[in-house]
Amino acid sequence: MPSPAPVAVSSARHPSGRWDEAVLLVAALALGLGGFVLTTINRTGSQPADVLPLAGALVAVTLVVHLWVRRTAPWADPVLLPVAVALNGLGLAMIYRLDLSYERTGDIHNYGTKQAVWTALGVLLFCLVLLVRDHRMLRRWDRRAMWGGLLFLILPFVPGLGTEVNGARIWIRVGPMSFQPAELTKVLLAVFFASFLVANRDNLALAGRRVLGINLPRVRHLGPLLVVWGASILVLVAQRDLGSSLLLFGLFVVTLYVATDRPSWLLLGAGLFTPAAWFAATHLSHVQQRVTAWLDAMDPEVFDMPGGSWQLVTGLFGLASGGLLGSGWGEGYPNLVTFANSDFIVAALGEELGLTGLLAILMLYLVLVQRGMSTAMRLRDGFGKLLAVSLSFTIALQVFVVVGGVTRLIPLTGLTTPFLAYGGSSLVANWVILALLVRLSDAARRPAVAAPQIIDTAELPTSIRRSVLDADTQENSPEDAAENAAGHSPAPTRTKEGS
Amino acid sequence: MNRQIHQMTVLVLVMFLALAASITSVQGLSRPALWESSSEQGTLVTDPRNSRTIFAQYGTDRGQIIVGGNVIVDSQPVDDAYAYQRLYLGGQMYSHVTGYFSTAFASMTGLEQAENSVLNGDDPSLLSSRLSALVTGGSLSGGSVELTINPQIQQAAWDALDGRRGSVVALDPSTGAILAMVSSPSYDANLLASHDADAAVAAYSQLQADEANPLSNRAIAGDLYPPGSTFKILTLAAALRAGMLSPETEVAAPNSLALPGTSHELMNYAGESCGNGTVTVAYAFAESCNTPFGQMAMDLGDAALAQEAAAWGFGARMNVPLAVTPSVYPANDDTAQTAMAGIGQSSVRVTPLMMALVAATVANGGEQMSPFLVARTLDPDLNVVSTTTPSVARTPVNTQTAATLASLMTQAVAEGTGSSAQVPGVSVAGKTGTAETGSDVGGPITWFIGFAGTDPQHPSIALAVVLDGGEQTADGGTGGSVAGPIAAAVIDAAVDQ
């Protein structure tokens, strides 16, 4: 019986990043806690009374989560979790800081506390999702993910359940809780797109006729995708949620392109988007307003108009007042902007942390996305690659739309900044996305000797694929990996990923 | 698939670079957008709709305004949203100079506005103290402004006006330093600077409703006044420049002068006679006879008078650093109007500061110094940051003409209409003015402008006193009877030190 020594050797050559993650987590916690302490000192003149128990509790929770990640996904990328903790902490500190301002004007909300509860819920869900030991199990849920995603989308239309806030019907209210189901739709549709495309990518890429130099796929291959996409866009236009609409569209096009490697998809995507955008900008009053408020933001007339640029420009004033170094935690006036803790939290952070702080936050996102992309590169199965790309790109696109909107690079659309902004649904959804990325990165970074054997089932007929997939997930649990490496190899055919 | 993933990574990178550029343009360069460096309202920082700029001022420990070593405007830490309360300690006589810093209206006036960058610490000259505050972690505080105002003179002027509507402006003729600037009646700046918005708004509407118009700074920015006979100094200067006459020249001084093209006749004040009908220029000036000066103006012509007024600074913009409303010599259509303008009637309109400058120019041998209110600016630790250097604004007349005018003005006080401005032991020179307003109620606008000092060659003060006409002035009042005594009180306080 050979000893399991090779595993030990290979883990020495491939550091798991356990300690890196621990060190980074300390730094990440310091960001949020530091913001909290500075805010309290600057706003009240004294240190927060309960900072030590709070810090202790946070350190304890983080330690548990860290250990949980290392247990369930030992090879996970050590950067992902700390980045999320840093962003979530900064967001919490700013939301709490705004609470103090609102309190002063006699407007008492406990957004900070509520967000903390949502954070706890999100972290719990993060841990639960990590129980899925192999991401490829998700692949079998493609139809369920699709129907679930569509169901979540139309929930706000159910009478008595959905509520309209500021002209957008994107919320459901259950008791005291309100929830934005489209946030979860995004995750579910990412799963559906990835699994559907990986199964049909050759059909989509190669079959079909060539028209004007563009490969058009057959309708029966494209059909389900178009139906899902069209339905979601339609629902979103009816809900007046431009941000989510743009997000799902971007998700769709990018996943399609990565799966099929047909630039024609990008052209086709642009061809679909341009007339839709033109129609919306010229025919839908709320889109028209947004475009006007973007182009002529500084015009006094547009500034004062209802639905005009007042909010956007006040946010810009805040950012400009922040300057290079910012006013400091609690020293600015971010509360002058409406929705400073949700849609405009970027403006609030920019005002108090300055250009330097905001660029640093941007860097955190970039690191997160880049880690997701490199996970996609290293993964060996098509489904995992597509899922990693689409989830990472979702984060990037969301940041682009929000920060671009707030800084007047593009028209303002309502979207939340991942992890930063106030809002339970978004926070929970992003922790789920992070869990999936952690799970994917674990698979990507696992040393080859310890890696589960991979069969690219995409090219197998459906009937065989099902059985292989089922067998696959049973055989390739991490416990088996050591055995496989130790010589009990079932010697499967390793099909190389085609690209 | 890795190639496409790589492409997507590059795409993400491009997106983030665009975001970084956009953030930098807004935060680093205060541009409203990447494609727009500023709007019609200025950059994001200077846009008046950016209430943060004013909010930020509330949070800073604003510097002091100092007069004669005493703090007249200070900031006091308070425990409310604005952190500091502005206090006006100098009393109402300083309100028009200092202005007020209002949280309720998110606005500032007077020196609070004009010297805002020093007071709030943003001025580039205060960079070093700002840097040291940054390094030592101390709170940012603004610099202080020390005024040229002499508190004794200011107080004397305020007391002498005694609540009547009018103004006193006094200058140091050799430097242009403003020694006193009083506008009466005044208001309590503390009420307007109150952090209680309702109280501030109530106080403001009450002041605005007051028909005495206490909010207007009559010295430099209120309604302009007709200068009356004080303008004869300019008419005479123009005649001397033209070589038409000398002080000893005998001129006709009839009881009335027919104005060509009209049925009006120009009379002397109150229809009095001037001497025996033929007098010297010196006598006509001292007794302020109208008819010889009306004739003189017609002889000179309107262009020469307009040129003279411009040479003395009429129509020019001035900042002391408070903005001064330019005085006006109007375009006159006919000779009758020119005759009236020559005696300071028609539509000639001046500020008290302008007339004080006229007196100061004569006192300073023809050189008109630029008037200024700020002597020095100090950093938060009261180290001197900058000192105002006196500068010559213009030289309307030569030394000889100035000496002639000075001796005529001395004579006017010694023997003429200005005798009420005499102060024992002090050499006083001056000119009275009594400008009819044409209103049926009350008396005329009365003036005294002049200069004084213990050494007649080097007067230490030049001043202008004006009292609004109308119902507040007794009918029959003149520059000599009403404004002269005020000037005497101010000169007494100035020279008595």
pLDDT tens digits, A430-440: 999 999 999 99
B3 neighbors A261 (Cβ within 8 angstroms)? yes
Compute the average pLDDT of residues A261-286: 78
Contacts across the A-B interface (CB distance below 8 Å): 145
Quote the longest CA-to-CA distance of chain A.
83
Average pLDDT over residues A214-218: 65
Relative to beta strand B65-67, strand B144-147 is parallel
- Region of B425 on the Ramachandran plot (φ > 0 left; ψ -120 to 50 alpha; else beta): left
Mean pLDDT of the residues in chain A: 81
Amino acid at B256: S
Q: Mind listing the pLDDT tens digit for each residue in A72-125?
A: 999 999 999 999 999 999 999 999 999 888 887 777 888 888 899 999 999 999
Instruction: Tell whether A334 lies on the interface with B, counting CB pairs under 8 A.
Output: no
Evaluate if residue A176 carries a pLDDT over 70.
no
Closest CA to B235 of B327, B316, B338: B338
Question: In the structure encoding, which two tokens stand for residue A287, read together?
Answer: 């889109």
Nearest CA distance, B181 vs chain A (angstrom): 37
- B139 pLDDT tier (thresholds 50, 70, 90): low
Q: Which residue has the higher pLDDT, B219 or A16?
A: B219
The whole-number average pLDDT for the span B224-241 is 94
Predicted local distance difference test score (pLDDT) of residue A9 = 41
pLDDT band for A498, please (50, 70, 90 cuts).
very low
Q: Do A317 and B47 touch (CB under 8 A)?
A: yes
Q: Is A336 on the interface with B (CB under 8 A)?
A: yes
| Bridge partner residues of B88 (DSSP) | B73
Active site residue B229: yes
Q: What are phi and psi of B141, to 5 degrees?
A: -130, 160
Percent of chain B with pLDDT over 70: 96
Beta bridge partners of B147: B67, B374
Closest partner CB to A355 (pick from B15, B23, B49): B23
Q: Which residues of B touch A386 (CB under 8 A)?
A: 1
Residue B438's pLDDT is 66
Confidence tier at A458 by pLDDT (50, 70, 90): low
Q: Does A136 touch chain B (CB under 8 A)?
A: no
Q: How confident is the model at residue A476 (pLDDT cuts 50, 70, 90)?
A: very low
pTM of the model: 0.63
Which of A317, A361, A387, A395 has the most B C-beta neighbours within 10 Å, making it the best mutation to test the interface with B?
Answer: A317
In this predicted structure, the answer to whether residue A490 has a pLDDT above a threshold of 50 is: no
Instruction: Please measure the distance between the N-terminal and C-terminal CA atoms of chain B and give it in whole angstroms.
Output: 93
pLDDT of amino acid A14: 62
B135 pLDDT higher than 50: yes
Which of B2, B27, B36 has its CB closest to that of A499?
B2
What local confidence, expressed as pLDDT, does residue A456 receive? 59
What pLDDT does residue A454 have? 57
Residue B436 contacts residue B483 (beta carbons within 8 Å): no
Strand partners, B434: B446
Of the listed ranges A222-226, B228-232, B274-278, the one predicted with least confidence: A222-226
Q: Which residues of A touch B49 (CB under 8 A)?
A: 300, 303, 313, 317
Q: What residue of B is the nearest CA neighbor of A365?
A: B16
Say if B22 is an interface residue toward chain A (CB within 8 Å). yes
What pLDDT, on the 0 to 100 scale, is given for residue A137? Answer: 85
Q: What angle do CA A178, A181, A183 make, to 5 degrees?
A: 115
Residue A497 contacts B where some CB pair is shorter than 8 Å: yes
ipTM of the complex: 0.86
What domains appear along chain B, each with residue ranges and CATH number?
228-374+389-495 (3.40.710.10)
Examine the pLDDT at A410 and tell me if it is beyond 80.
yes
Model confidence at B183: pLDDT above 90: yes
Chain A: closest CA distance from residue B140 (Å): 12
Residue B465 has pLDDT above 60, yes or no: yes
A483 vs A360, higher pLDDT: A360
The full 3-state SS of B233-268, as one line of letters, equals: HHHHHHHHHHCCCCCCCEEECCCEEECCCCCCEEEC
Read off the amino acid at residue A32.
G
Rounded to whole angstroms, the Cα distance separating B144 from B377 reads 6
Tokens 């300055």 correspond to A354
Say if B32 is an interface residue toward chain A (CB within 8 Å).
yes
Which of A317, A355, A373 has its CB closest to that of B8? A373
3-state secondary structure of B372: strand
Band the pLDDT of A482: cuts 50, 70, 90: very low
Q: Which of B311, B347, B287 is nearest to B480 (CA)?
A: B287
pLDDT of amino acid A29: 92
Instruction: Please state, in angstroms and rounded to a whole number, the distance separating the CA atoms of residues A292 and A340.
Output: 22
Q: Which residue among the candidates B229, B288, B346, B420 is catalytic per the annotation? A: B229
- Which sign, positive or negative, has the C-alpha torsion B193, B197, B199, B204? positive
A chain contacts of residue B26, beta-carbon cutoff 8 Å: 316, 319-320, 350, 407-408
Placement of tokens 């496409």 in the chain? B4
Give B169 or A452, the one with higher predicted confidence: B169
What is the pLDDT, as a whole number, of residue A228? 77
Of B9, B19, B56, the CB nearest to A409: B19
CB proximity under 8 Å: A 401-420 to B: 403-404, 407-409
pLDDT of residue A212: 64
Lowest model confidence (mean pLDDT) among A258-272, A391-405, B223-237: A258-272
**Which has more pLDDT, A497 or B265?**
B265
Q: What is the mean pLDDT of residues B386-409?
A: 95
